Amino acid sequence: MSTPTTDRPEPPIRAMLAPVTPLQQNCTIVWCTKTKKAAIIDPGGEVDRLVAGLKQHGLELEKIWITHGHLDHAGGTARLKELTGVPVEGPHPDDQFWIDQIPESAARYGMPDAQGFTPDRWLGDGDVVTLGETEFEVIHCPGHTPGHVVFFHREAGFAQVGDVLFKGSIGRTDFPKGNYDQLIDSITRKLWPLGEHVAFVPGHGPMSTFGAERKTNPFVADVIVGGASADEAGLAPEGVPKRYS
Ligand SMILES: [Zn+2]
Ligand SMILES: [Zn+2]
């Protein structure tokens, strides 16, 4: 008798979703499997629950990463930093005006604990952020907000894309400094080249892959970008899908 072994090597990272706030934003805990050092991406709120989740999985928080300055993604950042002392990285400086509005929008949404903050490190296109013994690439993807960034782990084929892209939809662009064409450009020129196999966590709703969205997403499928309407392509049988903030 021998203990069964697996030849499959341990992946360099693992990720766990923890939807937070009334908007069910996909806060994501990612960690370096070798060192158990973790980053929390987009701690919109419910910070005590996130800290408990780290403990439960034996993880040590090393970084707080922010995709963009909206309340549901960044509202718990100041509190998490206060509790843990770890550095905040991201978003891109063009989202400062959104971060500054957090206390005001928090009052409107009944989340009085949310505060503004200044990141320890602003991020830009092509930056690299480290986590334990591994690293993520930063991709600046404006359109939903001007300073939105995406965190991409090339070896694992994994991306946290915030409110840029969703399974079957794209982010809202009707806010100040939102821009529809810029968003479509960010998705098709910056995300698609990363590979069809890439699995992504969106800011809201279920995960998907870039390849699946290139086939079926009524806003950014290849046939749509090529000029067909969603109707002609048969991609929106139930009407225009919800776009998230
Ligand atoms: Zn959102
Ligand atoms: Zn947003």
Q: What is the CATH number of the domain that holds 192?
A: 3.60.15.10
Instruction: Assign 6 a pLDDT band (cuts: 50, 70, 90).
Output: low
Residues contacting residue 203 through CB under 8 Å, at least 6 positions apart = 25, 26, 42, 67, 72, 73, 161, 162, 163, 166, 171, 244
What tokens appear for 144 in the block? Answer: 């939903």
Q: The whole model's pTM is what?
A: 0.96
Q: What is the pLDDT of residues 165-222, one digit of tens each?
A: 999 999 999 999 999 999 999 999 999 999 999 999 999 999 999 999 999 999 999 9
Residue 106 placed within a domain:
yes
Distance 245 CA to ligand 2 centre (A): 4
The count of other CB atoms within 10 Å of the CB of residue 156 is: 18
Task: Kindly report the length of the chain.
Answer: 245
Residue 243 placed within a domain:
no
CA distances from 13 to 39, 50, 108, 120, 131 (A): 11, 18, 37, 24, 9
Q: What is the pLDDT of residues 132-178, one digit of tens each?
A: 999 999 999 999 999 999 999 999 999 999 999 999 999 999 999 99
Query: Distance between CA atoms of 102 and 46, rounded to whole angstroms?
Result: 15
Q: What is the mean pLDDT of residues 38-52?
A: 97
User: Does the pLDDT of residue 4 top 70, yes or no?
Assistant: no
Distance 36 CA to ligand 2 centre (A): 29
Nearest by Cα to 171 from 121, 120, 132, 217: 217
Distance 25 CA to ligand 2 centre (A): 9
User: Does the pLDDT of residue 223 top 90, yes or no?
Assistant: yes
What tokens appear for 46 in the block? Answer: 């419910």
Residue list, CB under 5 A from ion ligand 1? 72, 163, 203
Residue 98 placed within a domain:
yes
Nearest by Cα to 15 from 57, 66, 69, 72: 57
Q: What is the mean pLDDT of residues 52-72?
A: 98
Residue 114 placed within a domain:
yes
What tokens appear for 58 in the block? Answer: 């034996």
**pLDDT attached to residue 5:** 60
Residue 4 placed within a domain:
no
User: Residue 173 belongs to what domain range?
Assistant: 13-211
Residue 162 placed within a domain:
yes
Do residues 20 and 50 lie in contact, with contact meaning Cβ atoms separated by under 8 Å? yes
State whether residue 88 is helix, strand or coil.
strand
Distance 151 CA to ligand 1 centre (A): 15
Residues contacting residue 237 through CB under 8 Å, at least 6 positions apart = none
Q: Which ligand is nearest to the CA of 183?
A: 2
Residue 220 placed within a domain:
no
State the angle between helix axes of 77-84 and 47-56 in degrees (0 to 180), rounded to the nearest 10.
Answer: 50
Distance 66 CA to ligand 1 centre (A): 12
Q: What is the pLDDT of residues 88-123, one digit of tens each?
A: 999 999 999 999 999 999 999 888 789 999 999 999
Q: Kindly report the average pLDDT of the chain as a whole number.
A: 95
**pLDDT attached to residue 226:** 95
Q: Which ligand is nearest to the CA of 166?
A: 1
Distance 95 CA to ligand 1 centre (A): 14
**pLDDT attached to residue 162:** 98
Residue 236 placed within a domain:
no
Residues contacting residue 234 through CB under 8 Å, at least 6 positions apart = none
Distance 71 CA to ligand 1 centre (A): 8
**pLDDT attached to residue 237:** 87
Please give the distance of CA 156 from its chain centroid, rounded to a whole number: 16
Q: Which ligand is nearest to the CA of 164?
A: 2
Distance 147 CA to ligand 1 centre (A): 14
Q: What is the mean pLDDT of residues 237-241?
A: 88
Split into its structural domains, the chain has a count of 1
Q: Which ligand is nearest to the CA of 69?
A: 2
